[in-house]
Structure 1
Amino acid sequence: MNLNPVWLNSYPEGVPADIDPTQYNSLVGLMDESFSKFADRAAYSFMGKDFSFAQVDQESLGLAAYLQSLGLIKGDRVAIMMPNVPQYPMAVAAILRAGLVVVNVNPLYTARELEHQLKDSGAKAIVIIENFAATLEKCIAQTPVQHVVLASMGDRLGLLKGSLVNYVVRNVKKMVPSFNLPQAVRFNDATSQGRQQAFRKPDLSPDDIAVLQYTGGTTGVSKGAVLLHRNVIANVLQSEAWNEPVMKRIPAGQQATSVCALPLYHIFAFTVNMMLGLRMGGKTILIPNPRDLPAVLKELSTHTFHSFPAVNTLFNGLANHPDFGTVDWSNLKVSLGGGTAVTPSVAKLWLEKTGCPICEGYGLSETSPSASCNPTTSTEFTGTIGVPIPGTWMKLLDDDGQEVTALGMPGEIAIKGPQVMAGYWQRPDETAKVMTADGYFKSGDVGTMDERGFFKIVDRKKDMILVSGFNVYPNEVEEVASACPGVLECAAIGVPDEKTGETVKLVVVKKDPALTAEQIMAYCRENMTAYKQPRVIEFRSELPKTPVGKILRRELRNKA
């Protein structure tokens, strides 16, 4: 291993080559320090109301004691299924403080997807917003979940405003389908009950599990990346060190403020918004629905903010919106692009409109997530994924697992660092496939490296489809679609899409000649969350296959 990798020469002044993740024994240590140090500051802003670090401290402690009173013990898993509402960070802090493991769940999951994740993780409890309770009701009997804590949109907004918000969500917007979960306890009741209970501080170590972050895989079965306390701590400290050159430009007296429009169940927002915000004593503006662009811009027009992590589709949607000018973008110090490739046209427009270039980074659920990033002091968009962040090593591997040393030659990106997961939850076989003998994680992405140590992604080794930063695995789409009556066989591939980067195309061979594309789409809508659903359907008389009968997706992609 070269002890002075070339990319260190590209680091901005003041960014260290490494960080010390041992300064905290657990994420609880990091949170406790911040709750005490920044008690009077606003930690979160939601629908015009601020929540102080002290409030999050008290509420999460109450909920932690409540979870312990249910008989949950250290290491038990608790799922969270909510959009970006204040109860999310409160629940995360409570789960970790009780010595339990956070299982982040996409709130748009169908009952089938939710059931798999709850069973696979062995979650004994779930904190869920009522909007998605009907989904849970459909599958809870098949899962190990025994306890349900039920939140609502207006829970934390005070009696008057909270009641009004809940009335609108339930009765005007009709966003809460009827459900029956008799065992559920309301979020506010759980926290107040917990305050009457004794809280027992667990003995946590850096090697205890903090988060099960579910991601697909080459097999298409969603599996949990095991993120230890030290993995997430390391990535928080790496991100803080990387952002420091521009964050120190925030004028004295202004609190570092970040926009959290990415969903907190996604590891990007979980670490780079929530956990980093806690560490820095920053304020996080919670955006519950980033698809509602007028509401996002209306909310942002009332704030001064400095950091904006987002995906290409969100940068694009906002920059092209007629209300863009109602927001003051002049305080923006860093626009972090991640989750999926940022397109040059969007980067150019964003820079023109905000004066703050998009700084693209790269990472995966398996790396907590950040592995590389462009220097935050960049004045223009580079079209690369930047250089490995402090304490991180990246190399390129050929098909035989040997390092590619020639400059500009492509290879599979492999990553080593304190943020790399411990493995996949209860799947040693899958873990063995992605870890090398010398401790590198094989990403499945094919890239090149230039003479300055900047990496660029050129292809994907896996058949994975990337829709708005979310992994879609063809196996899962095919499994669902092939169960649709009238489908003989099918293959899912990714095709370019201006809005989402890629979208799912399904190539189908019919069993029933009368089968229509609309019928297949309707069936997929019932069984898969929106970003996984095929948007394009093509009928063929046969699919290209290998001599042993394996469908050749690559051939379909090349034709597309």
Structure 2
Amino acid sequence: MIATSPWPSLAPYPRRNVAHYLGDAAQQFPEKVAFIDPDGREYTFARMWKDSRRFARFLQEAGIGKGQVIAILSPNCAEYVPSVHGSLLAGVTITSLNYLYREQEVAHQLQDTDAVGMLAPRNLMPVVEAARKEVPTLRHTWAIEDIWDMIEGVSGEPEPVEIDPEKDIALLPYSSGTTGLPKGVMLSHYSVSANVSQAIGTEITNEHSVVLDFLPYFHMYGMAV
């Protein structure tokens, strides 16, 4: 028996920087709440898009840009949104790590990706600093809770970055597979764009939907949601 989708094909998919989907939402629903954190703080689409652009500019001013990798070691949080979208706007690839990893597991992924920067909550900084000793490429570490303060004084728009959606890597999550250490899964902007287009191109959700985001963002399933 051949399984088929109840929805028609949406191909060809948009060839763009996948971060611009957030920009689309900010333009269409600027004052609509995009994210509610566990403490009840609300973040609109307009704010998340503005802060994503600020973080992109912050990275560029730090000398981080296209072809480089930023790592995120963190549970789900509002700060994840500008961290990811800002990095993508700057042409940077995001590699996400399981926040339960210990020092050697963190070091392995950082070494494997040649990560130049890392965001993590303060309580995980001892793990990051221990792993950092084995990762000569890692020049920057930031407490993810501080991202709002980090970008507060940033002015100006990020420099436009030209990408090849089918070749440039947007996300680099790791999958354990069946043997050995976890391995990187290279997901292009085009691949993620196709995933997003498929999700929003159905009648499953609309602009009034609310999603309980319990899936971990370090996993591609959670990131896509």
On whether the aligned pair clears a TM of 0.5, the verdict is yes
Q: 1:39 — aligned with what?
A: 30
Q: Does 1:235 align with 2:195?
A: yes
Cα–Cα, structure 1 residues 101 and 113, in superposed 2: closer, same or farther, change >3 Å? same
Q: Does 1:22 align with 2:30?
A: no
**Structure 2 residue matching 1:61: 3-state secondary structure:** helix
Q: Residues 498-520 of structure 1, C-alpha deviation per residue, up to 9 Å, x if partnerless?
A: xxxxxxxxxxxxxxxxxxxxxxx
Structure 2 residue aligned with 1:76, among 44, 58, 68? 68
| 8 A contact 2:70–2:93 mirrored in 1 | yes
Query: For residues 191 and 72 of structure 1, what CA distance do their matches in structure 2 show?
Result: 15
Q: 1:268 — aligned with what?
A: 221
Q: Residues 430-464 of structure 1, C-alpha deviation per residue, up to 9 Å, x if partnerless?
A: xxxxxxxxxxxxxxxxxxxxxxxxxxxxxxxxxxx
Offset of residue 72 of structure 1 = 1.0
Query: For residues 97 and 151 of structure 2, what CA distance do their matches in structure 1 show?
Result: 21
Offset of residue 262 of structure 1 = 1.1
Q: 1:90 — aligned with what?
A: 82
**Structure 2 residue matching 1:127: 3-state secondary structure:** strand
Q: Percent identity?
A: 27
Query: For residues 198 and 148 of structure 2, what CA distance do their matches in structure 1 show?
Result: 35
Cα–Cα, structure 1 residues 34 and 217, in superposed 2: closer, same or farther, change >3 Å? same
Q: Residues 215-272 of structure 1, C-alpha deviation per residue, up to 9 Å, x if partnerless?
A: 123431211100000111111222334x51x446xxxxx721101011111111100x
Query: For residues 128 and 191 of structure 1, what CA distance do their matches in structure 2 show?
Result: 16
Structure 2 residue aligned with 1:259, among 198, 212, 218? 212
Q: Does 1:52 align with 2:44?
A: yes
Offset of residue 21 of structure 1 = 4.5
| 8 A contact 1:214–1:223 mirrored in 2 | yes
Query: For residues 198 and 144 of structure 2, what CA distance do their matches in structure 1 show?
Result: 33
Structural mapping, 1:31-180, within 5 Å: 31-46=22-37, 47-143=39-135, 144-152=137-145
Query: For residues 27 and 132 of structure 1, what CA distance do their matches in structure 2 show?
Result: 29
| 8 A contact 1:82–1:129 mirrored in 2 | yes
| 8 A contact 2:57–2:158 mirrored in 1 | yes
Offset of residue 81 of structure 1 = 1.1
| 8 A contact 1:24–1:30 mirrored in 2 | no
**Structure 2 residue matching 1:149: 3-state secondary structure:** strand
Offset of residue 198 of structure 1 = 5.2
**Structure 1 residue matching 2:211: 3-state secondary structure:** strand
Q: 1:183 — aligned with what?
A: none
- Structure 2: any 5+ residue segments left out of the alignment? none
The one-letter code of the counterpart of 2:116 is K
Q: 1:224 — aligned with what?
A: 184
Query: For residues 94 and 247 of structure 1, what CA distance do their matches in structure 2 show?
Result: 25
- Structure 1: any 5+ residue segments left out of the alignment? 153-185, 249-253, 274-560
Offset of residue 29 of structure 1 = 3.0
| 8 A contact 1:21–1:233 mirrored in 2 | no
Query: For residues 21 and 74 of structure 1, what CA distance do their matches in structure 2 show?
Result: 25
TM-score (norm 2): 0.91
Structural mapping, 1:328-343, within 5 Å: none
Decide which structure has greater strand share.
Answer: 1
Cα–Cα, structure 1 residues 34 and 257, in superposed 2: closer, same or farther, change >3 Å? same
Offset of residue 190 of structure 1 = 1.8
The one-letter code of the counterpart of 2:140 is H
Structure 2 residue aligned with 1:204, among 163, 177, 180? 163
| 8 A contact 2:17–2:88 mirrored in 1 | no
Offset of residue 84 of structure 1 = 1.1
Structural mapping, 1:366-381, within 5 Å: none
Taking only aligned residues, the RMSD between alpha carbons, in angstroms, comes to: 1.8
Query: For residues 140 and 218 of structure 1, what CA distance do their matches in structure 2 show?
Result: 27
The one-letter code of the counterpart of 1:147 is H
| 8 A contact 2:14–2:190 mirrored in 1 | no
Cα–Cα, structure 1 residues 191 and 21, in superposed 2: closer, same or farther, change >3 Å? farther
Structural mapping, 1:133-532, within 5 Å: 133-143=125-135, 144-152=137-145, 186-193=146-153, 195-196=154-155, 199-207=158-166, 208-241=168-201, 243-244=202-203, 246-247=204-205, 255-271=208-224, 273=225
**Structure 2 residue matching 1:237: 3-state secondary structure:** helix
Query: For residues 170 and 223 of structure 2, what CA distance do their matches in structure 1 show?
Result: 12
The one-letter code of the counterpart of 2:192 is V
Higher relative contact order (CA closer than 8 Å, sequence separation 6+): 2
Query: For residues 23 and 81 of structure 1, what CA distance do their matches in structure 2 show?
Result: 29
Which 4+ residue blocks in structure 1 deviate beyond 4 angstroms?
none
The one-letter code of the counterpart of 2:152 is S
Query: For residues 130 and 197 of structure 1, what CA distance do their matches in structure 2 show?
Result: 29
The one-letter code of the counterpart of 1:259 is L
Q: 2:2 — aligned with what?
A: 6
Cα–Cα, structure 1 residues 28 and 21, in superposed 2: closer, same or farther, change >3 Å? farther
**Structure 2 residue matching 1:23: 3-state secondary structure:** coil
Q: 1:373 — aligned with what?
A: none
